[in-house]
Structure 1
């Protein structure tokens, strides 16, 4: 029996055409290129992901942010006060965007995140300086993002002293004729945990919610169950809500788990309302699920759904302010970031947990999440295929 098998193998090798192995391998190479050409989403990911990473890290990411939004409470309009404000602007760290008239407005801007710094020049400041009373100049910083605040605060006294020495003295001053009191609010110890853990809530929810729903419709198509679903008397919006609502509950459980671990293990405080945090977290979860469902109506298979989800997740994590200071990014990157749900949720969760912010402080970000959710839902319902292509 073995002799017959050996002879058959010999005949097979003898009939093997020359370069047959390489011809078949080359044919498979051509076949894969043709398939890749037809799979435009995968081909686009091959090109776009490295290009996006290069552009974002090269142009948008800045760990030493400048021109940070600053409010000023100017209780006296004097030459010295104007010189101090000009000197602060010349440092390129501070950009005065708001002039307030009372402490309540001053605190509200910091709590809502509209400004990162606040400068208060008290009444009678110049007179006290001329008398040598050594008055205090208050600089309050939103330290929920220590990276954005630390560089400006560390250079504050030296830069201001250099800038003002010619205005106050004929020669080199031994010290500043006034005291700069820098108050890092909400995270005075500059703990990275207080900054990262709240942001992780939104980052993890974004990744999981996008993937869950982006795979939902494509899984139905690949398994053949979409035909049965389409044969039923059900509307596209009903299909969408039926697929989204279960994952809202899953996302809420995830958010509760992450916040609970952050509080118990990492000591992250929750200074605001837990009810408000739960409501806005549910809004954020629904927004991401709507975007993921929209992706599932665009792609043709689960691989493309995963690729498109990663394509959306990459700018979300880089441009939302979770990893790098949002205020330090160029204007075009900030505009892109404003169109990402994670940007608004990172502000919301940090403001509620670390600052004790209320819904009034978070109106802009709440409205932005609602608008993004409705926009994604509209596209998803419009693109939902009533028949299989």
Structure 2
């Protein structure tokens, strides 16, 4: 870590640019922002004339009904805009910046949703009293149509599904994300600044002389960090994984499920919803000895894997009861003290179970820890894991 700090400090001295002052944007730079904001003040659904044929009358009625349901449920307005947003626009083609500009001019909190000229959906919650996922409010299967030939395919279904996901999110204190993206000053999108000796002199020195030395330090630091980051994955092959390792695995499995989501597969969408809410329930940094958090993270892994399995299987197999991280159970069963005979994976059929059983940080077997997972056995006792999890989280 000391080496990494020195590298960062050196790079900062060599590469940091000085402050740059920008002139105020001219009045016409905000014309469309003001026009769309004024339209939203009259009607929360705005469809630009250039994209009027992408959503028919029936589709608009469905979207407005979903907006009304969601607004009544979350307690703040829902605004949906369907507008082109190319690189020549006032927001330089950045949808989140455009939505932030609308929020500033409309001066109202709410859920702001945008469909751009490519049929891609973006959403930003401003003051929404819900705990929304940190993995991206719009899942990849909802964000785009998946067919470049028909970018607006299923646009009504995708919008209503997004609003359903927001409505299903648990309540939390209102938060407003910081939009860290920025755009060049209006009229200077493609201009080049003259090279300044005060910057390029040290830069050239750093590139030609200090660069090779810094590269060597960076390579060594990267190797050390890479080895450190691989440790949690080695631990996950054991029967007593660390909470840190489970966080990494749960996040990776959840991202994989989000990448292949299919709105036409209800079982997959329900598994994703349950896994996402459960992951948020655990929080970003659970305590290293928290048994409940460890089992909830295992639950996220199981839900994500079963969600992917539901894309091709009507009834995915439950996970191995001895250790749900082993994957799907086979047909063979083993007897567990006080639990009966339950299905296990092929690797647990003919070996002593003590060394193969999943244990929480304090050493207890997972099935000895009271709670939702003891009751349902990660699907071995109650097959509908998503419903079991959503019910335990108080989500209808």
TM-score range, shorter chain: under 0.3
Larger Rg: 1 or 2? 1
Normalised by the size of structure 1, how large is the TM-score? 0.21
Normalised by the size of structure 2, how large is the TM-score? 0.21
From the two aligned structures, give the one with the greater helix fraction. Answer: 1
Q: Give the number of the structure with larger relative contact order, counting CA–CA contacts within 8 Å between residues 6 or more apart.
A: 1
